[in-house]
Chains A and B, each alone.
Chain A
Amino acid sequence: GAGVSQSPSNKVTEKGKDVELRCDPISGHTALYWYRQSLGQGLEFLIYFQGNSAPDKSGLPSDRFSAERTGGSVSTLTIQRTQQEDSAVYLCASSSSQGATGYTFGSGTRLTVV
């Protein structure tokens, strides 16, 4: 597609439920990144994919968080047993071989845990 697409744009879930957030990167972009934007916390790196592999998962905050990427394209971020502190905007970015100089961000998924 023309840009990075994220779905849903908004998600309200009850504490303790699992959620899946989806990212469709720009076609042909091999690198994919997930970031979390929390109120007052700025943006935090979560995980980086190169193709279907995740060589850097260092930002995932707990084992409740996981992510996968299939076919070198779509990525899903899963949060199990959601907690109120998981409420944030989750942003996805993809990049060609230019790395950080070629990022394109999606509009994000706003997750609210009630």
Chain B
Amino acid sequence: AQSVTQLGSHVSVSEGALVLLRCNYSSSVPPYLFWYVQYPNQGLQLLLKYTTGATLVKGINGFEAEFKKSETSFHLTKPSAHMSDAAEYFCAVSDPGGNEKLTFGTGTRLTIIP
């Protein structure tokens, strides 16, 4: 069975500061990994994904994440936070080759301090 742990249900950073949202996963097979963002009263938007190949993946809005197999981690970073980054962020894992349902973490609410 797969699982995802997001450390920190709430994270606050100052505008212009580094954003770091943590995600660790458990999977019996090499997983596909995802970060989604959810703005208030909206659906989920894909930020970035890792499937195979390069372990550092770049996504939209200046976000990136690095797949570290040895640490079973897929942390999300952005060098400089912007007010518009305030949202809830979800890490997810899927089992490639299965029915590819997503197993989500419980989410991290990011607040940007002006």
What is the CA–CA distance of A41 and B105 in the complex, to the nearest angstrom?
A: 9
Assess whether A100 is in contact with B34, with CB atoms less than 8 Å apart: yes
Number of A residues contacting the other chain (C-beta, 8 Å)?
A: 26
The verdict on A25 contacting chain B, using a C-beta distance below 8 Å, is no
Assess whether A101 is in contact with B32, with CB atoms less than 8 Å apart: yes
What is the CA–CA distance of A44 and B49 in the complex, to the nearest angstrom?
A: 19
| B: contact size bracket | 20 to 34
| Residues 28-57 of A at the B interface (beta carbon under 8 Å) | 31, 33, 35, 40-45, 48, 50, 55-56
Assess whether A31 is in contact with B90, with CB atoms less than 8 Å apart: no
Assess whether B99 is in contact with A107, with CB atoms less than 8 Å apart: no
Name which residue of chain B comes closest to A48, CB basis: B99
- A residues engaging B (CB < 8 A)? 4, 31, 33, 35, 40-45, 48, 50, 55-56, 59, 91, 93, 95, 99-101, 103, 105-108
Beyond A43-B104, A100-B100, list 4 extra A-B contacts (CB 8 Å).
Answer: A99-B99, A99-B100, A103-B46, A107-B42
